[in-house]
Amino acid sequence: MSTILVTGGAGFIGSHLCDALVKQGNYVICVDNLFTGSKENITHLLNNPLFEFVEHDIINPFFADKKIDQIYNLACPASPIHYQFNAIRTIKANTLGVINMLGLAKKHKARILQASTSEVYGDPLVHPQVETYFGNVNSFGPRSCYDEGKRVAESLFFEYNKEHNVDIRIARIFNTYGPKMSKNDGRVVSNFIVQALENKEVTVYGAGSQTRSFCFVSDLVAGLVALMNSDVSVPVNLGNPEEYTVLDFAKKIIALSGASSKIVFNTLPKDDPCKRKPDISRAQQMLAWNPAVSVDEGLKQTIAYFKTITNSKS
């Protein structure tokens, strides 16, 4: 049994990861400041003797009273509206917070995995994106707190590995969706499903010609665990290469929801990447990992989840 710290463990991906790690028989310490996460996501784990929740902001140092074997560092808001809400806090989570977690890993001789992102590629000029592409990121725009924050986090990981021999893993996560996404998260999957289920207008930003590639959360969690338990210390893309224009994706969700929603076209946010699709050859070769859930199947499960949640869930 390993003792595993999951920061951001009450969030969307983090709560699924906690479930998987507890199920494997590990002792899981979930650290979260509940900014975008929610105790509802982990209620079912709170009485489990293999699970512990600590409300804590990783911007402040964290001291563990148990020997930590592995750290998954997911603590950072992921939706543009949330990471832009307090951009300086987002930068702090990705700098001070990451330094705190790397310091903890160094002290405990723990292996640490960073939840990096496809956003390190910015508005990519290489398509699909390979890990060797350095990206096209605006350091001075509304997304930079997140994009540059995640880039400096990768640099910190690299330097802690080089200077202090910390055992690092870096997952570059592409758009991930599934049950437990928060209803008011503001990201495309939850927005479109909630709008469709209420037969409201579905809000496509711009002309909807920008593309994204969508990975179901169980696949992503399997990829994170495989990466953590591999000997791969270079960045690895994790995502599902099934690529859609946002307009086609809106039509698909309306159809799968059986909705009568109309599509409306709103202003495209500044610096919204034009296209995004992972090249997952590295994950396939080094981790023998492949996404198994098709977008149609994953959306059906996600729509079913959103049908069950009450209006009180945010």
The site for ligand NAD (CB under 6 A) is made up of 7-8, 10-14, 32-37, 57-59, 74-78, 93, 97, 115, 117, 173, 175-176
Minimum Å gap between C-beta 213 and ligand UDP is: 10
Minimum Å gap between C-beta 148 and ligand UDP is: 14
Taking the C-alpha atoms of residue 22 and residue 164, their distance in angstroms, rounded to an integer, is 30
Q: Which of 27, 83, 146, 160 is catalytic?
A: 146
C-beta of 33 vs 175, nearer to ligand UDP: 175
Of 127, 139, 151, 65, nearest to 276 by C-alpha is 127
Minimum Å gap between C-beta 98 and ligand NAD is: 10
From the list ligand NAD, ligand UDP, none, partner contacted by residue 217 (C-beta under 5 to 8 A by kind): none
Buried b / exposed e across 46-67, counting CB within 10 Å, b at 16+? eeeebbbbeebbbbeebebeee
Structure token pair of residue 82? 């949330």
Any contact of residue 80 with ligand UDP (CB under 6 A)? Answer: yes
C-beta of 170 vs 196, nearer to ligand NAD: 170
Residue 209 carries which DSSP code? -
Ramachandran angles phi, psi of 136, nearest 5° = -140, 80
Beta strands in the chain (DSSP E): 3-7, 27-32, 51-55, 70-73, 111-117, 168-173, 176-177, 202-205, 211-213, 215-216, 235-238, 243-245, 263-266
C-beta of 190 vs 261, nearer to ligand NAD: 190
Minimum Å gap between C-beta 136 and ligand UDP is: 15
- Helix-then-strand count for the chain, H and E: 10, 13
Structure token pair of residue 134? 């350095």
C-alpha 303 chain-centroid distance: 19
Exactly one of 85, 133, 158, 205 binds ligand UDP (CB under 6 A); that residue is 205
Structure token pair of residue 244? 């859609």
C-beta of 111 vs 187, nearer to ligand UDP: 187
CA angle 27, 30, 36 (to 5 degrees): 155
Label residue 271 left, alpha or beta by phi (over 0 means left) and psi (-120 to 50 means alpha).
left
C-beta of 70 vs 94, nearer to ligand UDP: 94
Exactly one of 175, 213, 218, 240 binds ligand UDP (CB under 6 A); that residue is 175
From the list ligand NAD, ligand UDP, none, partner contacted by residue 32 (C-beta under 5 to 8 A by kind): ligand NAD
Any contact of residue 151 with ligand UDP (CB under 6 A)? Answer: no
Taking the C-alpha atoms of residue 135 and residue 146, their distance in angstroms, rounded to an integer, is 14
From the list ligand UDP, ligand NAD, none, partner contacted by residue 110 (C-beta under 5 to 8 A by kind): none
Query: What character string, x for contact with ligand UDP (CB under 6 A) and - otherwise, covers 240-279?
Result: ------x----------------------x--x-------
Any contact of residue 135 with ligand UDP (CB under 6 A)? Answer: no
Catalytic residue list contains 146: yes
Of 120, 126, 125, nearest to 150 by C-alpha is 120
C-beta of 77 vs 273, nearer to ligand NAD: 77
Ramachandran angles phi, psi of 109, nearest 5° = 50, 40
Exactly one of 161, 184, 199, 203 binds ligand UDP (CB under 6 A); that residue is 203
Q: Could you give the residue numbers annotated as active site?
A: 146
Where do contacts with ligand UDP occur on this chain (CB under 6 A)?
79-80, 175, 187-188, 191, 203-205, 210, 212, 246, 269, 272
